[in-house]
Structure 1
């Protein structure tokens, strides 16, 4: 799938540089997973890709074998792992912190995929390296691509599996958090150049939405 991100970027090389970021758009929702002791053990992520990228992906993988513009029935069996070939250095475009401290995550598992109204949907689980009691603490989940080629939008409040005393809110990024000099440098990048290649920081984080969650008291 990550090779398809590059292909999609190449298709957009004619976009004016001031509009070069982002190229891809993904709607995100999360389910927090808890064990029988109420400890956080994982994060179930649901990524719904935009229609343009979904079309490129289906054509590249030849998933729509009957050419009806949908991935259904037997076609879904081959489709289930379309997003599963993550490179070793790919972090999964999500950051979780507990009271400001990073929470280590294991690699993805429990893959699934759906096709909904012309959009490819990829689903996976990121398990915590160590179960955590988050009662009374502040958990933040921030999905983002460091290079900002992918724009993740949180479309639903977080769901919870294993606890019923959690609540969360979605926060928009603060536009004033991006210095004007940095914003200008991002706008001037050519479509073929990543912020990292240009020596810029992980700018995607500055534009990221986040979920802030508390459980218990």
Structure 2
């Protein structure tokens, strides 16, 4: 199990509204590219859970049961442990490339959780190794498309003012056709949560291109 999916399944959250089809979860995503000098040194990732999943998560953890959308210090500790403790082997559902080559990402840092107005937000930074080129491409995706990371927030740049950001939307029709081809005509929405799904999540994800200078 992986990341948010791990939280989802470990909490035993599976309802008709969330458990019918791929994807099973929709997470608003914000990306910020961090530069030092001319070189990108990290990517800050923010995941914003929707109000329904946030409610299911807090309810299952036994916190905010009074529904006042405020947590005690003890409840915050419970939620923080559930959200920020990634399971072993979870890669973070972020891919960065430079000149077409996959860039290895460092272990997450600055991992924080917040709960405001009934919404759970998770923020962390993935360090990048020392690179020689300021230009990179990024995708946020679950390889198995259990989670759809919706890039609803503008991509931000910190540390440079001469970078252009282009977002290339995924070709969802082509992605769906690929799944059907691999699964003997089965559409993504017909694949249950416990059924095998091809590792084609990147085909459903928008691609971000950052060009500087």
* TM over 0.5, shorter chain: yes
Label 1:72 to 1:205 Cα distance change in 2 as closer, same or farther (>3 A): same
Structure 2 runs not aligned, ≥5 long: none
How far apart in 2 are the matches of 1:76 and 1:15? 26
Label 1:170 to 1:81 Cα distance change in 2 as closer, same or farther (>3 A): farther
Choose 47-56 or 186-195, whichever is displaced more. 186-195
Structure 2 match to 1:190: 192
Deviations 1:97-122 (A, max 9, x none): 11211111012121112224322100
State the TM-score, normalizing by the size of structure 2. Answer: 0.83
Q: Secondary structure at the match of 2:107?
A: strand
Structure 2 match to 1:70: 69
Root-mean-square deviation (CA), in Å? 2.6
Structure 2 match to 1:125: 125
Q: Secondary structure at the match of 1:111?
A: strand
Deviations 1:105-160 (A, max 9, x none): 012121112224322100001011x222333x4x2110001111111111122112
Q: Secondary structure at the match of 1:106?
A: coil
How far apart in 1 are the matches of 2:12 and 2:196? 11
Structure 2 match to 1:156: 153
How far apart in 2 are the matches of 1:10 and 1:61? 11
Structure 1 match to 2:23: 22
How far apart in 2 are the matches of 1:9 and 1:64? 18
How far apart in 1 are the matches of 2:118 and 2:125? 23
Structure 1 runs not aligned, ≥5 long: none
User: Which residue among 144, 148, 171 is the counterpart of 1:147?
Assistant: 144
Would you say the 8 A contact 1:33–1:43 is kept in 2?
Answer: yes
- Size of the aligned set, in residue pairs, is 204
Would you say the 8 A contact 2:7–2:82 is kept in 1?
Answer: no
Structure 2 match to 1:4: 7
